[in-house]
Chain A
Amino acid sequence: MNRFASLIARLETVNDAGTKALIVADYLSETPEPDRSLAQKILDRSLKPRPVRIALIRGLADARIDAELFALAEAYVGDVGETIALTWVPNRRANRDPALSEIIEALSTLGRSELPKRIESWLDACDETGRWALIKLITGTLRVERSAADNKEQPSPQSELFQRPPKKDTSGSIPAILLYAERTNPRATTSPLRCTFGVWDGDKLAPIGHCNVEGGDAERLESFIAEHTTARFGPVRQVRHDRDVAFVAELAFTAIAETPRRKAGITLRGARFTKPIDNASPSDAASLTALASRLHSA
């Protein structure tokens, strides 16, 4: 699993299709059957194991880590599965990580009662990248990245791997709430602010997209950040965002995209900060359900 996981991670960061193809070929050439064929099927999405609920894995993690520490880590990472992968402290070192074939077979043969113990032993045996990809794979949220430049068609020997689905117009604008901000260049106080915005998901806010803000708008944001920073993670400032106090702004976007790997499940592509919405109440911000129905009706 660890090797397959590091392949998936590499494909996320490599930009160039030729490089991607070579990395895939290198991986396959060093992988014996049956894992080679399984990997190929997962890469071209023709194999999707019956998914395990993330709540089951979350339950395993709860037994391992202090709830408050987990919550702080999750707020930073923004993804439950990845947070579990990164904070998991293995109980004992297994001498090898599970093979893909072992995982796929167990998922289809083990009963509900046997599965948690087995997953726990896999998490103990994998490295952090392995745990990350394992959780994505078994919860059915593993996605192999196309290019990190979305408007280029990428030719590829890996069939549909790098191709894009036909386009629907889902552009628009919504009121959203500032969650995090950081300087794009921490050394220059005039550099644009990279901001993460969220929308309501029940009583919580789910991160939905980010954009850079500069000029006068950045100054407005900055005075809010100065007064309402609630936590700092390196250069990233988390600002207050609740039903009483939050910074509400209008965000325009070119598309709504489904991103099962993210906490919110959807992401705004090509997000742009249009203006702060003065006198708006935090409750005026959009909700995840509204965005999702907009996407599905488009």
Chain B
Amino acid sequence: MTRAQDILRLTPAGLYCEAGDFYIDPLRKVSRAVVTHGHSDHARPGHDAVLATKETLAVMAARYGDTFTAAQQPARLGETIALGDANIMLKPAGHVVGSAQVVVEVGGKRVVVSGDYKRARDPTCPPFEPVPCDLFITEATFGLPLFRHPPAGDEVAKLLHSLRLFPDRPHIIGAYSLGKAQRFIALLREAAYSAPIYVDAATAKLCAIYESHGVPLGDIRPAASQSANTLNGAIIVGKAEFQNGTNDPVTAYASGWMRTRKRARAANVDLPLIISDHADWHELTATIAEVVPGELWITHGAEAALIHWATTRGIRARPLSIAGYGDEEEGAQQ
């Protein structure tokens, strides 16, 4: 009789499934990796074989070159794939383009590895699909009850208000190049902002991947080659370093960490915007309640509050400390 807790185990290389002989988001080079999404703490180069959505494979190729693995295995969302004695299936995670949860079934028991996810609407990727399971391995980047991300549209409206107030100043939005930047741009387009949006080179490359996978982002131009005058009154998305070449910019930063005054002040920008691609506390608890796991494992850090919450609801919960999973939002500001 298989126990759900025995299907995956934590090894120095990451979460390993013995029945299927594969790793999920491994931290070291392995023979077979199943990758949830393209953020660099989850998707690393050098594995012999990588199974992921075609979007995630395209992101990895853009970042690491076509030789990032010897064997790319694209998987469709919802398609069952047999690996050894395990059946796996990718389900949408709603995090960034191509992001997926990994559903692993062995001996009639089901484990779901959430990867990074959110429940809030995102025009750039399909929504998270809850899958009932025996063991749920969830991220908890924002695993404290103070984190509740406001509607992203309201945050975008703050930027547009600033643009009306300071129509001649460039507005520079610090946003992570994969996911946050494109979601922000798509939300601007939804708010009927149709002017060109300027981006840094890394963001431009990823915008092109979004476009080629059916996510229109409108008129995107490279920021680097523009004169300072062109950028007056324009929106620039990407790394904050552009401010050197622009006139008196209004600076903004889009991150879920902007929720507390302490972090908002420390960001040292004019306009902190609370936008995240990770589930907030209410999304985390609602999701756990939906997938009704017998047991819960928690990655990414802030687990104490979530363990308390789960335990008081009769769900066995424990932290799963995978050193090396970070939070891409933290790197964006550098």
Chain A positions near chain B (C-beta within 8 angstroms) = 9-10, 12-16, 19, 22-23, 26, 65-66, 68-70, 72-73, 76-79, 82-83, 86-87, 127-128, 132, 148, 185-187, 231-235
Contacts and interface: CB of A to CB of B under 8 A. Distances in A.
Nearest to B252: A13
A66 B311 CA distance: 13
Nearest to B260: A77
B305 A73 contact: yes
Contacts of B269: 13
Contacts of A9: 261, 264
Interface stretch (B104-112, B207-215, B324-332): B324-332
B11 interface: no
Interface string B148-173: 10100000000000000110000000
B159 to A, nearest CB: 12
Contact of A77 (B146, B303, B312): B146
Contact of A82 (B166, B261, B270, B327): B261
Given A14-B270, A66-B312, A185-B334, A76 B301 contact: no
Contacts of B271: 10, 13-14
Nearest to A83: B146
Nearest to B259: A86
B264 A233 contact: no
Nearest to A18: B248
Contacts of B267: 13
Interface string B223-263: 00000000000000000000000000010000001011110
Contacts of B264: 9, 12-13
Contacts of A83: 146
A264 to B, nearest CB: 13
Nearest to A19: B270
A26 B144 contact: no
5 contacts: A72-B145, A78-B262, A231-B304, A233-B302, A234-B142
B272 A235 contact: no
A132 B264 CA distance: 14
Given A13-B270, A19-B270, A72-B308, A234 B302 contact: yes
Interface string B274-316: 0000000000000000000000000001111100110010000
A148 to B, nearest CB: 5
A15 B261 contact: no
